[in-house]
Copies of this chain bind each other. A is one copy, B any other.
Amino acid sequence: MSGIVPAVGLSDHVVPDLIAAFTARSLTIGTAESLTGGLLAAVLTEAPGSSAVFRGGLVVYATDLKHRLAGVDAALLARCGPVDPHVAVELARGARLRCAADIGVGLTGVAGPDPQNGVPVGTWYCAVLGPADREQLRRGLPTASATRAEVRSAAVTAAVELLANIAATDS
């Protein structure tokens, strides 16, 4: 059994390379995921040796848990809804703090098959807060044809790419 990474569409070497790079720099990761529901954490921990880098994650599927577990401001959630770039950044910040990690990743969006509170399927935001508060944000655009699995895989792939940016550039 070859695991879930091929099903997400990532090359076999990407996550092990990431784990090796962060292990060499003693940098750790924490995650807070909504639309991907733990898939990013599962992908990162499929690599042997990931425990040296991956500290843990929060799967905050219900909106109230984004506040309760990840510390996202309840007023922000009420004002902007859960699918919002500021919420993604707050999720990343909460992940970093609550998991006591160097790097936090936040993911929120609409995987489908139905829109959520008027936000179309395929909309997502991924925020990564690196060491020294370096912030990266990427978004997914609505798509009429993508499946739920494809939307989730695209968001996870973006998160892995943003993490790879840190591995490639921070010293």
Contact = CB atoms under 8 A, between A and B. Distances in A.
A99 to B, nearest CB: 6
A124 interface: no
Question: What class of interface size applies to chain A in its complex with B?
Answer: 35 or more
Interface string A46-82: 1010110011111111101100110000000000000
Interface stretch (A18-26, A131-139, A143-151, A160-168): A143-151
Given A6-B7, A37-B46, A61 B55 contact: yes
A38 B46 contact: no
Nearest to A147: B1
Interface in A1-16: 1-4, 6-9
B6 A112 contact: no
> Majority SS of interface residues in chain A?
mixed
A3 B153 CA distance: 8
Contact of A1 (B9, B68, B98): B9
Interface of A: 1-4, 6-9, 31, 33, 36-42, 44-46, 48, 50-51, 54-62, 64-65, 68-69, 98-100, 112-114, 147-150, 152-153
